[in-house]
Amino acid sequence: MSQSVEYRFECPECAESIDVNESMKEAIQAHGCVVCGTPAPDGAFQP
């Protein structure tokens, strides 16, 4: 079984911080922060 990659997302606008997997990362990049909707730059995700 393959391990999923985990990232820590921190919104640059509202400072919401959550752990996300690859598909959640892609959704946040496409639609913005889940709390405030601010676009999420690549720098908002840390391994």
**Model confidence, pTM:** 0.84
The residue written with tokens 């640059």 in the block is: 12
Q: How confident is the prediction along the chain (47 residues), in pLDDT tens digits per residue?
A: 556 789 999 999 999 999 999 999 999 999 999 999 999 999 999 99
Distance between CA atoms of residues 19 and 7, nearest Å: 6
* pLDDT at site 2: 55
